[in-house]
Each structure stands twice: as structure tokens, then as C-alpha cells.
Amino acid sequence: MRAVIQRVTEASCIVEGRVTGSISLGLLVLLGIEDADTLEDLEWLAGKIHGIRIFGDENNLMNKALSDVDGGILLISQFTLYAATKKGNRPGFIRAARPDKAIPMYERMIERLSSLLGKKVETGIFGADMKVSLLNDGPVTIIIDTKNKE
């Protein structure tokens, strides 16, 4: 799994003119799932997302996690995080998981993050044409890949 995590002061997702999810202070998480991903990867990544300390403390140092600032999560499925770009100009997505694997993993990630956060995780709609807006705070953007745990 791959996640692009952005610290935001606000973020929202619109599908067909309807807001499907929105947050104020928190994290916009773009999540890519590949065929090789396991539930162990999901658990590890959920813990990292929930615990990552990228919010400012009283000294403006990044020492606080989501729970310390009562932040939210907007989770967006993003198969293009597995784009292969070595050959030609048209990206290939051979490593991205097919919907029959990706949808259950995405739904499980929503459940796991909601459990860790103690509140609903806002989302887009898997496979939809989504319009995602955000106000990146910092900017702070972190990329985490479960295949690079060590």
C-alpha cells in the first residue's frame, strides 16, 4: 500500500456535484492498493497514519498526532499511485489492485482508521470521478509505502 498524506486545514471530495466527504483540520490521505498488499500491511499503515506526528505543538514543532488536535481524515482511493512511468509517456497501472481486491481493502482501511480515530472517516467513492479540494497546511506532504517498512 502507498499513502500520500497531506496535513490540511480543510479538504473535501465532490462526486457528480455532491459532497461525499469533508474535513476541517486533519489529514487528506490518498491511498493506493496493490495486489501484493496484505491485512498486515493495512494494519501497519493505519497505525502510521493515525500516529504520525505532523501537527504543530505550542512551540510550532511537529509533535502532535491527529488525536492530539481532534483532527479528521478524508480517505480517497487512488490507484494512480502505482503508475509505472519508465516506458513511454502513457502510465501503466499493472501493479494496482483490481477492484475485487482493492474495494474490500479500502473498506477495511476506512473501518480501521475510524476505530483508531474514534470517529467517522470521511471518504470519496471508490472508482468514481472525484473532485478533491484541499488547503495544504505547511505545506506538509508525507509518502508512506508499506513495502519500505524498514
Amino acid at 12: S
Is the pTM here over 0.75, yes or no? yes
> Which of 129, 5, 148 lies closest to 73, judged by CA?
5
Tell me how far apart the alpha carbons of residues 138 and 15 are, in angstroms, rounded to a whole number: 27
pLDDT in tens, 8-48: 999 999 999 999 999 999 999 999 999 999 999 999 999 99
The topology (CATH level 3) of 2-148 is D-tyrosyl-trna(Tyr) Deacylase; Chain: A; (3.50.80)
Report domain extents, the chain.
Answer: 2-148
Task: Kindly state the cell numbers that stand for 111.
Answer: 473501518
Of the chain, the percentage scoring pLDDT greater than 70 comes to: 100
> Mind telling me the catalytic residues?
80
- pLDDT confidence of 94, banded at 50, 70, 90? confident
C-alpha distance from residue 142 to each of 2, 6, 49, 125 (Å):
11, 6, 10, 23
